DNA sequence: GATGAAATAGCATTTGC
DNA sequence: GCAAATGCTATTTCATC
């Protein structure tokens, strides 16, 4: 599932995770390759799935969402049908902007946004009723401690095997 | 803090949050404006801070991180010095890829990645010792229930006031 | 198998309206 | 916000290492 990356790939990925909003020629200068070679590497990494997509990251507050909330969810039941039902409900709720299932003290962790408490309330209710959540712990996001940061990538050291 | 957005802005932001990896002329066609006008709107939204940045989103697993973990953190102390110390530790740990302080049953929620358990262990230890965390609840990410989705933006209805 | 250089087609960006 | 024009860029091609 993992993909081999050399030092140049790692450098490219680091740059693209930080700021993908610049010309390919600039990336090429940074990594010391020609624009064509740079373009090829980036295209390959997209095809390989290392780069999932390139997107704009918005500031939720500036976009009008006064409330940003993490939700720790415990499901009432854990059979396949219940889990599918929950996933479907999560998918249908616009205010849930991401969700992961997890192993640990809870079953899933969700990120939601809302303009006000009433809007939040509607989403929470839906998750309890239609979603089948038995316990919802709401964590109000107060501040960003560390912004979304690049992955600490390492080059796949194929050549170091020679000395091993 | 919030910014006024009309229907075209909302449409542009929705498209850019889904896929920012396409030419401005295509966006222009989608929203029915000229390329110049489209470019101006996007630039203004960047300056206004609605668009924080444009980045590549990687697939952690494909990039080699077998473990992706949410961490629920309770701090031992809550004075300013302790919080600054924790923030500094979080900032210095490469494997912590994002962190927010929250209000609720815990103090902060972190997202971490690791190649293996040993690597995870190191980061957890640092958060306990130097970071001053008194309780760490580890939630292992099993699956993505809902991918990072566009914000459910609404146009700021300035004109509807005429009928109000 | 990947890179570099050159060439073409296309786009970003500016200016005047 | 539009249309036209300029300059630069993305993208392909092909020879090369």
Q: A50: distance to nearest CA of chain B, Å? A: 5
Nearest to B98 by CA among A82, A118, A141: A141
Which site among A10, A63, A123 would you substitute to test the B interface, given the most B Cβ atoms closer than 10 Å to its Cβ?
A63
Q: Report CB contact under 8 Å: B2, A140.
A: no
* Nearest nucleotide to A37, CA against C1' atoms: C3
pLDDT tens figures, B26-38? 999 999 999 999 9
Q: Burial code of A3-29, b = ≥16 C-beta within 10 A, e = fewer?
A: bebeebbbbbbebbbeebeeeeeebbe
Q: Report CB contact under 8 Å: B62, A105.
A: no
pLDDT band at residue B1, thresholds of 50, 70 and 90? confident
Q: What is the mean pLDDT of residues B126-138?
A: 98
Residue B92 has pLDDT above 90, yes or no: yes
Residue-level pLDDT, tens digit, chain A, 164 residues: 799 999 999 999 999 999 999 999 999 999 999 999 999 999 999 999 999 999 999 999 999 999 999 999 999 999 999 999 999 999 999 999 999 999 999 999 999 999 999 999 999 999 999 999 999 999 999 999 999 999 999 998 665 433 32
pLDDT at A158: 62
Q: What is the mean pLDDT of residues B87-115?
A: 98
Query: Rounded to an integer, what distance in angstroms lies between the CA atom of residue B20 and that of residue A21?
Result: 9
pLDDT at A1: 79
Mean pLDDT of chain B: 95
Q: Report CB contact under 8 Å: A17, B60.
A: no
Nearest to B86 by CA among B50, B145, B136, B39: B136
pLDDT at A53: 97
Q: Report CB contact under 8 Å: B103, A142.
A: yes
Q: A112: distance to nearest CA of chain B, Å? A: 9
Q: Which residues on adjacent β-strands are paired with residue A75? A: A133
Nearest to A25 by CA among A36, A17, A40: A36
| Alpha-carbon dihedral angle through residues B2, B4, B9, B14, given to the nearest 10 degrees | 30
Query: Rounded to an integer, what distance in angstroms lies between the CA atom of residue B85 and that of residue A50?
Result: 34
pLDDT at B161: 36
pLDDT tens figures, B76-89? 999 999 999 999 99
Q: B81: distance to nearest CA of chain A, Å? A: 14
Q: What are the domain boundaries of chain B? A: 7-47, 67-140
pLDDT at B164: 29
Quickly give B36 CA vs C16 C1' distance in Å: 13
Nearest to B61 by CA among B117, B19, B115: B115
Q: Which CATH number fits domain B7-47: 1.10.10.10, 3.30.70.20, 3.30.70.360, 3.90.550.10?
A: 1.10.10.10
pTM over 0.85: yes
Quickly give A15 CA vs D16 C1' distance in Å: 29
CB contacts, 8 Å: A143 with chain B: 100-101
Give Cα A145 distance to the centre of its chain.
Answer: 17
Considering any atom of strand C, list protein residues whose CB lies within 7 Å.
A 8, 32-37, 40-41; B 23-26, 35-36, 39
Query: Rounded to an integer, what distance in angstroms lies between the CA atom of residue A38 and that of residue A148?
Result: 25
CATH architecture of A67-140: 2-Layer Sandwich (3.30)
pLDDT tens figures, B36-76? 999 999 999 999 999 999 999 999 999 999 999 999 999 99
* Nearest nucleotide to B23, CA against C1' atoms: C11
């Amino acid at each position: 599932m993992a993909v081999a990356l050399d030092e140049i790939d790692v450098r490219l990925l680091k740059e693209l995770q930080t700021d993908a909003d610049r010309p390919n020629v600039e990336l090429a200068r940074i990594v010391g390759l020609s624009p064509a070679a740079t373009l090829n590497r980036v295209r390959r990494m997209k095809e390989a799935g290392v780069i999932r997509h390139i997107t704009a990251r918005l500031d939720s507050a500036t976009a009008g969402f006064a409330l940003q909330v993490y939700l720790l969810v415990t499901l009432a039941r854990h059979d396949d049908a219940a889990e599918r039902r929950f996933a479907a409900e999560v998918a249908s709720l616009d205010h849930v902007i991401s969700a992961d299932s997890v192993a640990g003290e809870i079953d899933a962790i969700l990120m939601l946004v809302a303009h006000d408490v009433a809007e939040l309330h509607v989403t929470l209710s839906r998750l309890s009723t239609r979603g089948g959540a038995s316990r919802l712990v709401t964590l109000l996001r107060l501040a960003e401690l560390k912004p979304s940061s690049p992955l600490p990538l390492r080059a796949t050291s194929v050549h170091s095997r020679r000395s091993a």
